[in-house]
Amino acid sequence: MRNCGGWRSGGGKDSGEDSSAYTALVFIDPDSGAKRRVALRRAIPSEAVEPSLVGDTVYFVRQNGEVTDVTTGGKLLWTKATGVERLSTPTVSARRGALYLATPGGRVVALDLTDGRVLWQEKPRTDPGGVQADLAIIGDALYVVYGWDTTDVFSMDVSTRPQRGKATASPANSSQANSSPATASPAR
């Protein structure tokens, strides 16, 4: 488990509990070891799910392309089917109001942070398969590591892509959150 914002997420599989669904989030203070349990208002099936803690939000990314956005307070914000399978751990740009994910074949999908709708997606750069893609965003440059037989890297300027349903960039004074995701485990 990785430290994220002073709390670590965990439970479920690591604690020997039933892991058929995510029913709670468990945060562990890395300094004191104190645990904070937050019940989810709706259970989230754990089959083929990659949960990621990004800021104050947990994104549950299913291998079938469904993404669920839950606050660290346990409130479900949205669930959307992207139609794109084998998505990566997400990265977020608050400045652009977007959640970015990628496939092992190099396809990038951008979702609106407020409602989860697909803002845009790229065509795959190679055959599907390979290892899980990895993303990083620095300013407006989105870097994607992907590959099958070899590992490739590319970057794109996300400011030239549609943002929250608009063809122009977000206001210059909006804040940006560059984030590194942490992982979570099902908890009951």
> Over the stretch 37-49, which tens digit does the pLDDT of each residue have?
999 988 888 876 8
Query: Domain-by-domain residue ranges, the chain?
Result: 82-179
Strand partners, 35: 28
Task: Report pLDDT digits (tens) over 109-130.
Answer: 999 999 999 999 999 888 777 7
> Which one-letter amino acid corresponds to residue 70?
V
Backbone angles phi, psi at 158, to 5 degrees: -75, -10
Q: Has residue 17 got a pLDDT over 80?
A: no
Output DSSP code: residue 187: B
Could you tell me the CA-to-CA distances from 6 to 28, 32, 56, 109, 168 in Å, in that order? 8, 10, 11, 29, 36
pTM of the model: 0.74
Q: What is the mean pLDDT of the chain?
A: 78
Q: Are 47 and 61 in contact (CB under 8 A)?
A: no
**Neighbouring C-alpha atoms within 13 Å toward the C-beta of 43:** 12
CATH fold for domain 82-179: Thrombin, subunit H (2.40.10)
